[in-house]
Amino acid sequence: MAIAKRPSTEMGQRLFEYAAAPEATDHLKIADSYALFVGGRFVEPHSRRRFATVNPATEETLSEVAEADETDVDRAVTAAADAFRSWSRLSGAKRARYIFRLSRLMQERARELAVLETMDGGKPIKESRDVDVPLAAAHFFYYAGWADKLEWAFPNRRPRPLGVAAQVIPWNFPLLMLAWKIAPALAAGNTVVLKPAETTPLSALAFADICQQADLPPGVVNIVTGAGSTGAAVVGHPGVRKVAFTGSTEVGKQIQRATAGSGKHLTLELGGKAANIVFEDAPLDQAIEGIVNGIYFNQGHVCCAGSRLLVQESIVEPLLAKLKSRLGTLRVGDPLDKNTDVGAINSRAQLEKIEGLVNSGIEEGAEIYQPECHLPERGYWFRPTIFTNVAQSYRIAREEIFGPVLSVLTFRTPDEAVEKANNTPYGLSAGVWTDKGSRILWLVERMRAGVVWANTFNRFDPTSPFGGYKESGFGREGGLHGLAAYVELN
Ligand code: NAI
Ligand code: MG
């Protein structure tokens, strides 16, 4: 009997007919409106203003959130300054108990937090469930362990907390960025005022509830919601001793200007345009998975995304063929479906930014590839996209797109790979795929990037420092380096 030969994509579709597997949401209670979390209580905003946060997959309003004005921010900083007096004097072991408790409560409420994160921000539930929430809890767990060992962390340097930390975070990893900011600050004895991003405030407000549940002393953590002007008020408050920001390079520069000469300690984690470099001796199938993870994870809303693929010329054809066929198997759509690989774009504004940059790529002469996929009618969506025929001067090769868009460039020699990889104003991360350990070490020495992943991508661990060079910012988060940003040393 003759076996009919089918093209592989058709075969793939036939073999993998998925049934929707939606995550339940009935265990989750989202209030119609939220107040500010100041001094351990939810308080009505002085501003009397609120704004909506929507589900980007449905465009439905999830809740109305308070918009903090300068008076609200002043109250929050005052509460944090009051709490600092006792929190900073508490023994490290006692602080650790609170922080361990926060970590355990996050684990206990993991499902609720994951669903909330996915509904408010659009990321696939399998990512919030398997990456964001567990890593956030792990950060608290890790830094809780340091709280009573600061003298060992910084031997003979008499580590002292700084005071009130102002922390402004973005919308791509809301709960995880909260953990990166709050956990080391509390472990070192500081108190915090945190402002979540305006499109994703709900997981931070759930965390405020967790602080109450943990009986955290009032004022140690304060959460003020709002947009850029609220963020500017938090950062600019004279009672603040330390500013930590993650977000766009543009706002990072504004904050650096605003804090210059104020004596405030500052760390900035900004944008990126990472090179993911594939040599001809790389294990190709593994590399394909790394490329896909590098740029389509979290819809490409990742500061360290591998958005520039540098491929050695000799393997560009087989690699692109494999990559395109792999793209055809990515499931784009309902973020609450456990099968979904690529969820919703976080906001209409971000979708418009992605569309604008993609159009510039087409106009400048790059060749676009997008797989067939059915997108939901409502919500903000963008197909996984590959650009080939990209010159280094094109905007899609230089600017952070922050969407599921990959620009492919080629190189012939290792030197050319290094030169092209470093030809960017950013310097946050990079990836290298090769069979040779010696080549990895050679390359890593020459890369201007805070993190270089070898034969993997987007791996995170609380013990490992993360941060950038050049326009990607300065300072490190994670590990002992992350703790050092929250202490004064002799
Ligand atoms: P953004 O930098 O404006 O927002 C990040 C946070 O900063 C938010 O909480 C926002 O409310 C706050 N903020 C805004 N203006 C502020 C100010 N003057 N002072 C203090 N805080 C302020 O980022 P946006 O506009 O949401 O995204 C624009 C682009 O920025 C994205 O397309 C992406 O390229 C990049 N971005 C990079 C991120 C990263 O992790 N590297 C995260 C978010 C955005
Ligand atoms: Mg939202």
Domain positions in the chain are 33-270+472-489, 275-463
Secondary element (H or E) of residue 210: helix 202-213
Q: Which ligand is nearest to the CA of 302?
A: 1
CA-to-CA distance for 292 and 287, rounded, in angstroms?
9
Nearest residue by C-alpha to atom 12 in ligand 1: 228
Q: So what's the pLDDT on residue 1?
A: 41
CA-to-CA distance for 193 and 164, rounded, in angstroms?
7
**pTM, two decimal places:** 0.96
Nearest residue by C-alpha to atom 27 in ligand 1: 248
- Ligand 1 site, residue 177, Cβ cutoff 6 A: no
CA atoms within 13 A on the CB side of 471: 18
Same fold across 33-270+472-489 and 275-463: no
Residue numbers in the chain where pLDDT is lower than 70: 1-16
DSSP string, 37-95: EETTEEE--TT--EEEEEETTTTEEEEEEE---HHHHHHHHHHHHHHHHHHTTS-HHHH
Q: What DSSP state is assigned to residue 278?
A: E
Q: Which ligand is nearest to the CA of 351?
A: 1
| Site of tokens 């976080």 | 346
CA-to-CA distance for 197 and 230, rounded, in angstroms?
10
Q: Which residues contact residue 261 at a Cβ distance below 8 angstroms, ignoring those fewer than 6 apart?
A: none
CA of 11 to the centre of ligand 1 (A): 43
Q: Measure Cα distances from 389 to 183, 188, 361, 406, 408 in Å.
A: 44, 50, 10, 12, 7
CA of 125 to the centre of ligand 2 (A): 15
Beta bridge partners of 385: 405
Q: So what's the pLDDT on residue 18?
A: 79
Q: Which residues contact residue 85 at a Cβ distance below 8 angstroms, ignoring those fewer than 6 apart?
A: none
CA of 347 to the centre of ligand 2 (A): 8
Nearest residue by C-alpha to atom 23 in ligand 1: 248
Nearest 10 degrees: Cα torsion 54, 59, 61, 62: -60
Best CA proximity match to 188, nearest among 219, 147, 242: 147
Q: Which residues contact residue 371 at a Cβ distance below 8 angstroms, ignoring those fewer than 6 apart?
A: 324, 327, 328, 330, 383, 384
- Ligand 1 site, residue 353, Cβ cutoff 6 A: yes
Name the burial class of residue 75, with classes exposed (0-12), middle (13-18) and buried (19+) by CB atoms within 10 angstroms of its CB.
buried
CA of 465 to the centre of ligand 2 (A): 29
Q: Return the active site residues.
A: 269, 303
Q: Which ligand is nearest to the CA of 174?
A: 1
**Pair of tokens at residue 451:** 């993190």
Q: So what's the pLDDT on residue 8?
A: 52
251, 273, 469, best to mutate for ligand 1 pocket (most atoms within 8 Å of CB): 251
CB 172 within 8 A of CB 302: yes
CB 402 within 8 A of CB 300: yes
Span 275-463 CATH architecture? 3-Layer(aba) Sandwich (3.40)
Best CA proximity match to 202, nearest among 131, 302, 132, 121: 121
CB 463 within 8 A of CB 478: yes
Nearest residue by C-alpha to atom 32 in ligand 1: 402
> 33-270+472-489 in CATH: which number?
3.40.605.10
CA of 401 to the centre of ligand 1 (A): 13
Beta bridge partners of 50: 66
